[in-house]
């Protein structure tokens, strides 16, 4: 076998291996989508098949009518974008302080701040729950949001970006009479836009999918998010083995993130690549 033929064979093997792994990864999603379009009661022996005979929207109509998805979507949007808004303010101010301001113990304080990355969120559930209960915020959207208002990960990302901003730009802004906040707004934030986009993606996806904490601090649909609402919905459907209905509810929940990724896929990749290079 020639060297060129060996390279081609290696490439073919690599492509098949990656394709197989990708199919294994995406199969549950494809199965859920296919099952959601099967007519009610027609699952039978086709439970593992991705081919749908006589596709129907009946499962989606029934799932939408049985679960308050409009309310759940609203709660989720308030929680996700409320957390993101607070985080963008806190990480920006903290990152600027750690990157450009001089004060005693700055590096040690930053290292102490980063310890949050090593703490599993589940270990903080009890103290956070006690705090929320003491404040009388149980079963509210604010109860879900408060523990996530600060982010060590976001602060670290933005600090690395701010450290790469040339000092000359900051000096020029000071000569023009800009205050600290004006310099931050007009100089640092425009240059940090890709990093902010990358962090926003991570924050939105993470808090959209968050399940355990919202489940603990809410007990009615008044404040529940889509993940908790879906779990409640599937409990009743599982008792009757309505897998078509469960799949339809799952697709309804994951659809916003899926559409968001498809529409902004290139921007997502560019933002993460830029953030990784700047670190």
pLDDT at residue 227 in the model: 93
Same domain, 29 and 162: no
Structural domain containing residue 34: 3-57
Same domain, 237 and 100: yes
Per the document, the length of the chain is 279
pLDDT at residue 261 in the model: 80
Please name the helix (run of DSSP H) or strand (run of DSSP E) that holds residue 211, with its range, or none.
Answer: none
pLDDT at residue 279 in the model: 42
For tokens 């986009």, the residue is 197
- Alpha-carbon dihedral angle through residues 233, 237, 243, 248, given to the nearest 10 degrees: -30
Is residue 201 in some structural domain?
A: yes
Same domain, 253 and 204: yes
Q: Number of C-alpha atoms within 13 angstroms, CB side, residue 235? A: 6
Residue 151's region, left for phi above 0, alpha for psi from -120 to 50, else beta, is: beta
pLDDT in tens, 25-58: 888 888 888 888 888 766 655 666 777 778 888 8
Q: Which of 69, 63, 67, 54 is nearest to 244 (CA)?
A: 63
Same domain, 45 and 99: no
Number of domains in the chain: 2
Query: Residue 178's domain is classified under what CATH number?
Result: 1.10.3720.10
Is residue 142 in some structural domain?
A: yes
Per-residue pLDDT in tens (0 to 9) along the chain, 279 residues: 566 766 777 788 888 898 899 888 888 888 888 888 888 766 655 666 777 778 888 889 988 988 899 999 999 999 999 999 999 999 999 999 999 888 898 889 988 888 888 888 888 899 999 999 999 999 999 999 999 999 998 999 899 889 988 888 888 888 888 888 899 999 999 989 888 988 898 899 999 999 999 999 998 888 999 999 998 888 776 555 678 888 899 999 999 888 888 877 776 666 666 554 444
Same domain, 51 and 74: no
Is residue 62 in some structural domain?
A: no
pLDDT in tens, 241-262: 678 888 899 999 999 888 888 8
Q: Which of 80, 69, 79 is nearest to 230 (CA)?
A: 69
Is residue 221 in some structural domain?
A: yes
pLDDT at residue 273 in the model: 62
Is residue 225 in some structural domain?
A: yes
Q: Which of 135, 121, 115, 134 is nearest to 214 (CA)?
A: 121
Same domain, 25 and 85: no
Residues contacting 96, CB < 8 A, separation 6+: 162, 184, 188
Same domain, 233 and 114: yes
SS3 227: helix
Is residue 145 in some structural domain?
A: yes
Q: Does residue 165 contact residue 242 with C-beta atoms inside 8 Å?
A: no
Same domain, 33 and 159: no
pLDDT at residue 267 in the model: 67
Same domain, 272 and 147: yes
Same domain, 81 and 193: yes
Is residue 30 in some structural domain?
A: yes
pTM: 0.85
SS3 54: coil
Same domain, 130 and 245: yes
Is residue 141 in some structural domain?
A: yes
Same domain, 43 and 73: no
């Amino acid at each position: 076998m020639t060297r060129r033929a060996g390279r081609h064979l290696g490439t073919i093997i690599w492509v098949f291996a990656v394709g197989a792994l990708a199919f294994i990864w995406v199969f549950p999603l494809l199965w859920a989508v296919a099952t959601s379009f099967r007519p009610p009661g027609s699952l039978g022996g086709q439970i593992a098949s991705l081919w749908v005979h006589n596709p129907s929207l009946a499962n989606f109509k029934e799932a939408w009518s049985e679960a308050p998805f409009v309310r759940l979507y609203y709660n989720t949007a308030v929680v996700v974008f409320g957390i993101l808004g607070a985080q963008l303010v806190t990480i920006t101010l903290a990152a600027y302080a750690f990157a450009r301001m001089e004060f005693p113990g700055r590096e040690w304080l930053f290292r102490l701040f980063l310890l949050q990355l090593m703490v599993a969120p589940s270990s903080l559930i009890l103290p956070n729950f006690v705090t929320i209960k003491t404040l009388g915020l149980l079963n509210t959207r604010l109860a879900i949001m408060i523990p996530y208002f600060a982010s060590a990960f976001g602060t670290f990302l933005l600090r690395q970006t701010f450290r790469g901003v040339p000092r000359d730009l900051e000096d020029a802004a000071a000569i023009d009479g800009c205050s600290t906040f004006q310099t931050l707004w007009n100089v640092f934030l425009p240059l940090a836009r890709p990093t902010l986009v990358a962090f926003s993606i991570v924050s939105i996806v993470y808090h959209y999918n968050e399940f355990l904490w919202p489940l603990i601090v809410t007990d009615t649909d008044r404040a529940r998010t889509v993940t908790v609402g879906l779990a409640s919905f599937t409990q009743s459907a599982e008792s009757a083995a309505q897998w078509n209905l469960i799949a339809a509810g799952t697709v309804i929940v994951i659809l916003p993130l899926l559409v968001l990724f498809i529409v902004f896929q290139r921007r997502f990749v560019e933002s993460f690549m830029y953030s990784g290079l700047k670190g």
